[in-house]
Amino acid sequence: MDKVEILGVKISRVNFKEALKTVEKFLADGKKHYIVTPNPEQIILAQKNHHFRQILNQADLAIPDGVGLVWASRILQNSKLIERVSGVDLMERLCQRAVQNGWRIGLLGGKGKVAARAAEVLKKRYGGLKIIFAAAGNPSSTFDQKIRKDLPNLDLLLVAYGAPKQEEWIGRNLAEINVGVLMAVGGAFEFLAGRQRRAPKIIQSFGFEWFWRLIFQPWRLKRQLALPEFALRVWATKLKGFKV
């Protein structure tokens, strides 16, 4: 798949429909695949965490989950990414398609009973959806053996430990579990369970979902400082050709 490199991280050049079609092909080919959802914050994290960057770059699909990536691809590559692809929206559409295709789905991550609550919401929203596993689990490598034992055979496993823990978990366990496709989904379970509110569509379309989340989660301020750093690094790379 064609990819664009942004500050050393490879991002798939896809729109929403192409991303969905690609995952459907993954689920049908009988091989193991994993999907990541990079955004500017993760790109900055990958500058300092080379193992995390390696996992992102080896993903079968790295959807551009942030308008900043679309902007940066044009600045750095003169090659615009087609559009932002929201990981939460892609996950929901896959659940919708799962009803038609009979895919077996699992939810892993979140805190307490968030995964179980998210599973209930998805089942009500998409009647007939086969969610056969939902648990908080634990992202620590010391718990890997237990989680591997607990997981049933699945077509799609949604992993919500937040970056970089969810990607590192996928990297360690991909070859050891009976799952066709693994997808890192960040805070998606929190949205589904009603623990967090998503920004209205109009705010998402203008690329200000980060600001909406900051209003309701002021503790994210430290993390959001990655956004100006991302912009600075993009312009420094473009204009002067050096890293900051």
Tens-place pLDDT, residues 56-72 = 999 999 999 988 999 99
Structure tokens at 107: 């939810």
Using 50, 70 and 90 to split pLDDT, how confident is the model at 38? very high
**DSSP codes, 31-88:** S-EEEE---HHHHHHHHH-HHHHHHHHT-SEE---SHHHHHHHHHHHS---S----HH
Residue 1: name the closest of 71, 69, 82 by CA.
82
| Residue 244 clears pLDDT 50, i.e. is over it | no
Q: What is the mean pLDDT of the chain?
A: 89
| Residue 168 clears pLDDT 70, i.e. is over it | yes
Instruction: Identify the residue with better confidence: 187 or 241.
Output: 187
Give the model's pLDDT for residue 212: 47
Give the model's pLDDT for residue 106: 98
Strand partners, 12: 3
Q: How far apart (Å, rounded) are the C-alpha atoms in residues 148 and 160?
A: 16
Q: How far apart (Å, rounded) are the C-alpha atoms in residues 10 and 208?
A: 23
Give the model's pLDDT for residue 208: 57
Mean pLDDT of 83-92: 94
Residue 119: name the closest of 157, 85, 149 by CA.
157
Using an 8 Å Cβ cutoff, are 151 and 109 in contact? no
Using 50, 70 and 90 to split pLDDT, how confident is the model at 136? very high
Could you tell me how far CA 4 lies from the centroid of its own chain? Answer: 17
How does pLDDT run across 180-206, given as a tens digit for each residue? 999 999 989 998 987 566 656 665 555
- Looking at the chain, the whole-number percentage of residues with pLDDT higher than 70 is 85
Give the model's pLDDT for residue 81: 77
Could you tell me how far CA 227 lies from the centroid of its own chain? Answer: 18
Q: Which amino acid is at 83?
A: E
| Residue 213 clears pLDDT 60, i.e. is over it | no
